[in-house]
Chains A and B, each alone.
Chain A
Amino acid sequence: MCLAIPAKIIKINKNIAEVESLGVKKEIDISLTPGARVGNFVIVHAGFAIQIIDEEDALVTQGYWKEYLGEQ
C-alpha cells in the first residue's frame, strides 16, 4: 500500500504535473512537494508526489520497480 515509484516531471499546470515513469505518462498532484519543477524526479504514491529525489537515485530505483511490476 505504501508503494511509491519515481517519475520525471515533464509539464506543470498549477498543482497537476505530467510525469513519465517507466515509459508511461500520467498526471499526478504535486501539492505536497511545493519545490517540484519541470525536470525534477519525484517519488509518486497513489497519484501524489511525496518527495523530490536526485536523478541518479531515481534511475537506480526505477530499475528495481521495472522488475517488480513486471512480475505482478
Chain B
Amino acid sequence: MSSNIKELVESLNNNKPDHKINIMEVCGTHTMAISRYGLRQLIPENINLISGPGCPVCVTPISDIDWIIGIARQYDVSIFTFGDLFRVPGTESSLYNEKSKGKDINICYSPADALDFARNNPGKKVIFIAIGFETTIPLTSVIIKRAYQEKINNFYIYNTHKLVPEALELLLLDKEVEIDAFLCPGHVSAIIGSKPYNFIAEDYHIPCVISGFEPMDILESIATIIRQINKGISEVEIQYRRVVREEGNPAALKSIYEVFDKSDSVWRGLGNIPGSGLKLKKKFLKFDAKTYFTVKRFKSREPAGCECGDVLKGIKKPTECRLFSKICKPENPIGPCMVSSEGSCAAYYKYEKIKVQHLKNLNMTLI
C-alpha cells in the first residue's frame, strides 16, 4: 500500500468515470469495512457500492434453519455451530431459542472443536453445521477426512456449503441487477485464487478485483476498477497480494475435492444455482446428517416484510426496507441480514448512521 488515503481519494475524484457505475462488493467483511470507515462517503458520487450475497449466514435458506431446529427437537443430539447462525430466526424459532429451552446447541470457534467433542463423547451424536464459502470448506473437508481415518461413528455434518463464483454468474444473468464490476472476496480467493473469476472478465466483460479488507485496500481496488473501466477493459486483478496467489491454496483445493463433489445449491434470495454447492462423496456419506436423520415435515415461511432477498442481490439497499431500524434491529432481527455480523443490514445499522464520526476516525488512524 504505497500512497495515502488522501492522495487516493483525490485521484479517484480526478479519474472518476463519466457515467454512474455500480461496483458490487461480494463479501460481507468488505461490506462491514466499507460501512465502518464510511468509504461510501469518501468516493465520487457516481461510484455506487452495492452489497452482494457474500454473507454465508444470510444466504442460508430459512428451511435449513427449520431443519436444524427439527433435528434438535426430535433427536438427542449435540449440535455445534458458528456463532453467526445462532440467532437467525427460523420460521417459528431460532437455535438460540432452542438452546434456552434446554436443547444441546453449542457455539464453536473451529470445526475441529466439534470433532474433538465427538471423539471424547462416543455415546453422543454430534452434528456440526457446515456453513460457509470456500474459505471455510477446506476446514470441513479436513475434519471429515479425520473422522473417516479415526473411524468416528457419532459425527455428522449438516452441509450448507456454497461456492462464490457460480453465484456471481447468476447475478450477471439477472436483468434486475446492474453490476459494472466486482470487488472480489479476499479470503475466499486465498483458497480459490484468481482463475475462477476469469470467465466473468472474459465472457461478461466485467472487471474483477480481489481486494483486502483495510480501507486502503478497498480504495486501491476501487481505483483499479475505475482504471479498467476508463480504459474499456475487463481483467481479473489481485490487489490483496499479501494473501492471495493466482493459484490460491492448492492443498486446500485438493482437500475440498477429495471429500466433496460439486452439486446444485439453493441460496436464500437467489434460488437454486447450478453447481454452486457441494455434496459429500459416496465414501463419506455416512457423515451426512441429512442422510442419517429424518425430520418431520414442516413448512418454512420467509418473515413478512423482510427484503433480504433483494438486499442480497444488490437490488435494494437495507435502508429501503420498510422494517429497517424501525422494527428490525440487531436486538430484534427479522431477517438474517440484520443478525449476522457481516450482514448488509447489520452493517448499515451499526455504522452508516453516524457518518461524520467515521470520516473523523479515518483521518485519525490512516492519514
The chain A residues found within 8 Å of chain B, CB to CB, are: 1-4, 29, 31-34, 43, 45-48, 50-51, 53-54, 57, 60-61, 64, 67-68
Alpha-carbon distance A51/B40, docked complex (angstroms): 30
In order of increasing CB-CB distance, the 7 nearest A-B pairs are A47-B110, A57-B242, A2-B135, A2-B187, A32-B252, A51-B190, A4-B187
Chain A residues lying within 8 Å of B252, measured Cβ to Cβ, are 32, 50
Residue from the list A1, A48, A67 in contact with B110, Cβ < 8 A: A48
- Check B132–A1 contact: CB distance below 8 A: yes
B190 touches A46 (CB 8 A): no
Residue among A1, A45, A68 with the highest chain B CB neighbour number at 10 A: A1
- Assess whether B242 is in contact with A45, with CB atoms less than 8 Å apart: no
Beta-carbon nearest neighbor of B113 in chain A: A47
Nearest chain B CB to A46's CB is how many angstroms away? 5
Interchain CA distance A54-B111 in the complex, whole Å: 27
Closest to B212 in A: A61
Q: Which of A32, A54, A68 contacts B249 (CB 8 A)?
A: A32
Tell me the interface secondary structure of chain A in the complex.
Answer: mixed
> B214 on the interface (CB 8 Å rule)?
yes
Residues A2 and B27 in contact, CB atoms below 8 Å apart = yes
Query: Are A45 and B243 touching (Cβ within 8 A)?
Result: no
B:114-138 near A, CB below 8 Å: 131-133, 135-136, 138
Instruction: Give complex CA distance A2, B82 in Å.
Output: 11
Note all chain B residues with C-beta closer than 8 A to A64. Answer: 213-214
B1 closest partner in A (C-beta)? A60
CB pair B249–A50 under 8 Å, yes or no, is yes
Q: Which residue of A lies closest to B143 (CB)?
A: A29
Q: Are B243 and A57 in contact (CB under 8 A)?
A: yes
Is the beta-carbon distance between B243 and A1 smaller than 8 angstroms? no
- Counting contact residues on chain B (CB < 8 A from A), the size range is 35 or more
- CB proximity of B12 to chain A, nearest CB, Å: 21
* In the complex, chain B residues 83-118 whose Cβ is within 8 Å of any chain A Cβ: 84, 109-113
Chain A residue nearest to B132 (CB atoms) is: A1
Q: Does B56 contact A (CB under 8 A)?
A: yes
Flag if A45 contacts B135 (CB, 8 Å).
Answer: yes
Q: Which residues of A have CB within 8 Å of B224?
A: none
Task: Tell yes or no: B173 within 8 A of A by CB.
Answer: no
Chain B residues near A3: list those with CB within 8 A: 29, 187
Chain A: minimal CB distance from B85 (Å)? 9
A-B contacts, 7 listed (Cβ < 8 Å): A2-B186, A4-B187, A43-B243, A47-B111, A48-B142, A50-B252, A61-B212
Q: Does B163 contact A (CB under 8 A)?
A: no
> Given A32-B255, A57-B243, are A2 and B29 also a contact pair (CB < 8 Å)?
yes
B185 close to chain A: CB less than 8 A: yes
Say whether B304 faces chain A, with CB atoms less than 8 Å apart: no
Task: Name the B residues within 8 Å of A57 (CB-CB).
Answer: 242-243
Q: Closest approach, in angstroms, between the C-beta of B86 and any C-beta of chain A?
A: 12
B110 and A61 within 8 A (CB): no
Question: A32 and B142 in contact (CB under 8 A), knowing A1-B82, A46-B82, A57-B242?
Answer: yes
Question: Which of A47, A53, A67 sits near B243, CB closer than 8 Å?
Answer: A53
Interface status of B277 (Cβ within 8 A of chain A): no
Bound Cα distance from A61 to B244, whole angstroms = 14
Contacts of B191 in A (CB 8 A): 50
A46-B136 in contact (CB<8A): yes
Please indicate the chain A residues that have their CB under 8 angstroms from the CB of B186 in the complex. Answer: 2
A32: min CB distance to chain B, Å: 5
Taking a contact as CB atoms under 8 Å apart, the answer to whether B133 and A61 are in contact is: no
Q: Which of B142, B188, B251 contacts A29 (CB 8 A)?
A: B142
Tell me which of A31, A57, A60, A67 has the highest count of chain B C-beta atoms within 10 A of its own C-beta.
A31
CB pair B142–A31 under 8 Å, yes or no, is: yes
Q: Is the CB of B28 within 8 A of A2?
A: yes
Q: Tell me which of B82, B113, B242, B342 contacts A61 (CB under 8 A).
A: B242
Contact B133 A46 (CB under 8 A): no
Partner pick for A43 among B190, B214, B255, CB 8 A cutoff = B190
The distance in angstroms between the C-alpha atoms of A60 and B113, with both chains bound, is 30
**A45 adjacent to B109 (CB under 8 Å):** no
